Amino acid sequence: MKYYVFLFAAIAGAQSVTTNYATDLNGNRVADGSVISTDGTQTRTTRSINGSQVPMEQTEVHVLSKTPDSTVTETIIHKYDQDGHVTGTERILTEQRKQASGETVHVTTFRSDINGSMQQAERRTTESTTQGNVTKTQTSVEESTPNGFETVEKRTAVSESKDGSTHSEQTVYRRTENGTFDPAFQTVTDTTRTQGKTVEKTAQYQPIGDVNRMQLTKQTVNTTTERPDGSSVSQLDYYGAAVPGNVRDPGAAQQLYERDTIERKPGAGGSVVETLTAQRASMSNPSQLGPPIPISQTVCTGDCKNPPAPGNQ
């Protein structure tokens, strides 16, 4: 079963408190965690075994320097166990530089070791160029190994926008034991925007059995409709060759196996309430969706002006 948490962005100087309520086996509404955002700090809590709220993760974002052509930010992430003790810390240093026709972004991740010392763990470089309506992006990911830093992943992406629609393709290549980079994952997304409505269609491909042949493994269609009163409803449909848990037939046609509906309503004092329901096909009856089942409700109070796109999981 998927686990959903919808986060709402908070601007500096403002605070938002987002609480996620899940539905237990008896159909009761139970607080399952919260996110508190204020002044560049975000604290995520979760429900412990005894039902109390304990910190799970805390994120701090600081702008170290900023010029017309570059920005350097530092992100500190503390992770906690169920007793509230820090289990690990990450420091992410991001340097963004504007170029004549695009930008270059260097991201260096440091992680704490068993002694608490911070060590470089990952380096990521992304270069993007834009010509007209087309943006091309190249990403290289290096990880620390016993032999030093080695490139373990490469990504290529192309995005084209025209007349209210966007077509994008991204391919992920991963290093093999032989040192070559073979395609591991490909995503093709088409987004169309009309007045008050956005439709995003995504197809995912993977090499199954043949590394040189990408096969369609999953499709999603996300339709979001905005209403005049400030509310919105999103319908996210999942398609696959088989219901999760059933044996996948490589030659089977894609079929609808889940439909999630996310309704977002503004409330008093700038608050926002999101309600998630799901319809799912069963392993025994894969061709028909079941009745809508309440999954969760998320309530944001404070600065809730910029909710993320629906479907985050």
- What does the pLDDT look like over 252-307, one tens digit per residue? 788 999 999 999 999 888 889 999 999 999 988 888 999 999 889 999 998 776 54
State the CB neighbour count (10 A cutoff) for residue 16. 25
Nearby residues of 288 by Cβ (< 8 Å), 6 or more positions away:
281
What is the DSSP-derived secondary structure letter of residue 270?
G
Average pLDDT of 193-199? 94
Two tokens at 231?
């509310």
Please report which confidence band the pLDDT of residue 245 belongs to, taking 50, 70 and 90 as the band edges.
confident
Give the domain ranges of the chain. 48-131
Tens digits of residue pLDDT in 296-310: 999 999 877 654 333
CA–CA distances in Å: residue 69 to residues 64, 102, 103, 202, 281: 14, 11, 9, 33, 51
CA gap 85, 252 in Å, rounded: 48
CA gap 115, 176 in Å, rounded: 32
pTM: 0.82
Residues paired with residue 8 on neighbouring β-strands, in sequence order: none
Per-residue model confidence (pLDDT) at position 14: 67
